Structure 1
Amino acid sequence: MSPEAVWPPELPEVVLDWPVPRGVKIRPARWVSGDAAHFRAHFQAAVDAKMALAVICNDAPRGPEARVTRWFCPGVPMHVTGEQVVGEDGRVWHVFLVPAAAALLALERGLVTCLPE
């Protein structure tokens, strides 16, 4: 991804049908699964496989009133799939879809903070 690319990025057509997330996110996303190299490898694998969307998990609580689409980072939405995964520690993780190429560009723009576990 080139830092000179237009921001916000052009999102895949499938994303244009997602409901607009509430409000405007201004803080970077937090990637808790590893460092920047891990983040890049995760999303680059989706791009290399010609997938518009990549799967991530988020432990934010999802009540019945929660919207199906929220912000991953400024300018990039993520959409809940309805699936849940229970981690080894017993925590429930919610499965989301994120535009893969946009997530890579967001990392280059400094809109993602990587926090290794």
Structure 2
Amino acid sequence: MLPPVTEAWPVPRGHKWRPGRWREDEAAFRAFFTAVVATHGPDALAQIWHDSPRAPGAGHTRWFAPQLPMHVTGEREGPWHAYLVPAAAALLALDRGLIICRAARRV
């Protein structure tokens, strides 16, 4: 269930088999993506931060979870890149076990 806007995104290379990872617990994941859908509607895109692409020639679209793409916005802070993820699809992916939530480790 991807919103129509994702049809214009380049298809990510390869295929992702492993679940996507989220650095917070499941409650935080659900709260974040549910708020995006509640505020902006079922086709809303949520902005997240990810440490890719690592190379200048890396693609603009990567896999967030199996069958769930994310698209780089061009915004960057240090090694982190801003991506857009279909919010409702992220919630469905979590319900289907395609996202693993883990609270960040404290050092």
TM-score normalised by length of structure 2: 0.90
Is 1:50 matched up with 2:40?
yes
1:36 maps to 26
The 8 Å contact of residues 53 and 59 in structure 2, kept in 1 or not, is answered as no
Match among 106, 110, 113 for residue 93 of structure 2: 106
Structure 1, unaligned stretches of length 5 or more? 1-9, 87-91
Moved over 2 A (4+): none
Note the aligned Cα RMSD (angstroms): 1.1
TM-score normalised by length of structure 1: 0.83
Q: Which amino acid aligns with 2:88?
A: A
Count residues in correspondence.
102
Aligned counterparts of 2:93 and 2:57: Cα–Cα separation in 1: 28
Match among 72, 81, 92 for residue 94 of structure 1: 81
How far residue 104 of structure 1 moved from its aligned partner, in angstroms, is 0.3
C-alpha deviations, 1:63-114, integer Å up to 9, x for none? 111000010000110000010124xxxxx21100000000000000010011
